[in-house]
A and B are shown apart, each in its own frame.
Chain A
């Protein structure tokens, strides 16, 4: 499974959103209805799936699906 599809899968699972809502541009708060606790749970989901720790400063910058994909790709991580 590609990194991008795994990220999407986690978002769909945690936020209960439909696959077509999860575009690269989608904002977690305004487009996907995630409050701050939802977003923290998502970060934990990415950490578990990709075996890394994302510190709080970095996490606050990950506001869209695309930014998460880009961040994980830069770390050269595979699901």
Chain B
């Protein structure tokens, strides 16, 4: 019989909280984490707002040597992974070689890259910090987490822009089903709020310029949306083979049934017409999960608040679920409060989806006021809603046309 995979721990740090549960409370209350940028002078950006992790001091979590030698993105990954690891209670119930880590990032250590590049230009290449490479590279978060928790099984990183941590989870689930390891800390982290990070996305005209009203700037599916809001953070879940978890009496949050992964093969940043690639990812996830489109009770959308994403993702959901089913399925975007955490987005949204199943609460698209023409699904606008749901999907779509949908199920012991 095929192995099954459950979530036994969650960890998240981002604009709306420093723990998974704090993130969840704010997501369902619709409290936005978007404010004016403080990490870098935003004056020359067209978008001067972001979802920063407020009052973050790495020394609250890491010793001074590790703090100094890790990029901010790695610190977020370590904080989230430690929370998920501790919550899972797996420490004395698994051989270190049977525990893996898959943590993605869209960009990696861009703060470190910018800083050391400046040093090299001003003072010469011989003054580059010897720790530059192992601080900057986008796989080091997974490496650091491996060291921190002593996980000696498979360890790698996924890089697919805004879908990075979705791919981390999808691949981790497959690895556990194949029996490669018994459990994997899977997720992602991002810290892109720097001169070139924000400046680059501004140049793409991808970011919201609603600078006078940060808290409603990320408004997925709304007719007045004008781009996404860049955010930072980390999110990691403990994925564990179901029997392994049940035998040790772990607290099981939800089951991850499977995934669908596709590529648009169409354009570097724009989604394929009618969300064709995303629709295929949703269909594949439903098939991999062994369910039918009519079983889907909730979709946590990618919902970035860009013109092109929201309309095309809506079309993709209609194609994949069928028009009638799509029209009566709640679909919400928690990016309305978190902004877009890029490489950490899919993992924090997978956590929200798991909590929605566990608690029977659908998080809202908090900022949605006037749905755009063609955005005509039930987006759970404004307020959270009680709903006893069994099956849910979480969509993630990355630049490069890289799509992943995760299928989850409420854990019921069956």
Q: What residues of chain A have their CB less than 8 Å away from a CB belonging to chain B?
A: 14-16, 37, 40-41, 44, 48
State whether B129 touches A16 (Cβ < 8 A).
no
In the bound complex, residues from chain B placing their C-beta under 8 Å from that of A40 are 130
State whether B131 touches A41 (Cβ < 8 A).
yes
Complex: how many Å from CA A15 to CA B65?
6
Closest 3 CB pairs of A and B: A16-B65, A16-B64, A40-B130
Q: B55-91: which residues lie under 8 A (CB-CB) from chain A?
A: 63-66, 68
Taking the closest CB of chain B, its distance from the CB of A59, in whole angstroms, is 12
Complex: how many Å from CA A41 to CA B131?
8
Interface residues on chain B, size class: under 10
In the bound complex, residues from chain A placing their C-beta under 8 Å from that of B130 are 37, 40-41, 44
Taking the closest CB of chain B, its distance from the CB of A64, in whole angstroms, is 19
Say yes or no: is B117 at the interface (Cβ < 8 Å to chain A). Answer: no
Complex: how many Å from CA A44 to CA B123?
13
Known A16-B64, A37-B131; further 15 A-B contacts with Cβ < 8 A: A14-B68, A15-B65, A16-B63, A16-B65, A16-B66, A16-B68, A37-B130, A40-B130, A41-B129, A41-B130, A41-B131, A44-B127, A44-B129, A44-B130, A48-B127
In the bound complex, residues from chain A placing their C-beta under 8 Å from that of B65 are 15-16
> What secondary structure prevails in chain B residues at the interface with A?
helix
Taking the closest CB of chain A, its distance from the CB of B17, in whole angstroms, is 28
Interface-centre pick from A15, A16, A40, A44 (highest chain B CB count, 10 A): A16
Nearest A residue to B68 via CB reads: A16
Per-residue CB contact flags for chain B residues 97-122 toward chain A (1 = under 8 Å, else 0) read 00000000000000000000000000
Complex: how many Å from CA A41 to CA B65?
12
Complex: how many Å from CA A16 to CA B129?
16
Nearest B residue to A12 via CB reads: B64
Taking the closest CB of chain B, its distance from the CB of A72, in whole angstroms, is 19
Complex: how many Å from CA A37 to CA B131?
7
In the bound complex, residues from chain B placing their C-beta under 8 Å from that of A16 are 63-66, 68
Taking the closest CB of chain B, its distance from the CB of A25, in whole angstroms, is 21
